[in-house]
Structure 1
Amino acid sequence: MSEVLLILGLVSVSTSLLGSLLVLQNQAMIADALSHSVLLGIVLGFFVSHSLESPLLVIGAAVFGVLTVVLIEMIQSRRLARDAATGLVFSTFFALAVLLISMFARNVHLDLDMVLMGEVLFAPFYRMAVFGLSLPVALVKSIAILGVNLLFLGSAYHPLKLMLFDPTQARLQGVPVKGLQLAVMVLVSLTTVVSFDAVGSIAVIALMIGPSMTALIWAKHLPQFFLSTLMIALLNSWLGFALANQMDLTMAGACAVVSLLTFLVALVGRRGLEKTFGDN
Structure 2
Amino acid sequence: MGVRLKKTIIFASYYLCLIVSLSGGAEKESISTRLEKLNLAQRGSDKDVKSLIQIVNNNNQTLAQVLLDPSWQNRFKLKSQEFKATVYYSNPFDLLPLKLQTLLKGRERPFETRNDIWEWLKKHDPSPSWKKAMKIALRQTTPRNLWRSSQGKSPFAKGGKPLKPLIIDHGNRNYELRDGGHIATDPSIIPTHSNVWLIFNIKGKDRIVYVSAADTGGNVKGKHVDLPIKAGSDWEKLPGTKIPKSLQITNLTVLTPTLPVSESILRNLKQILSTGKKMIFGIWNAVQKE
Shorter-chain TM-score bucket reads under 0.3
Larger radius of gyration: 2
TM-score under structure 2 length normalisation: 0.26
TM-score, normalised via structure 1 length? 0.26
Higher strand share: 2
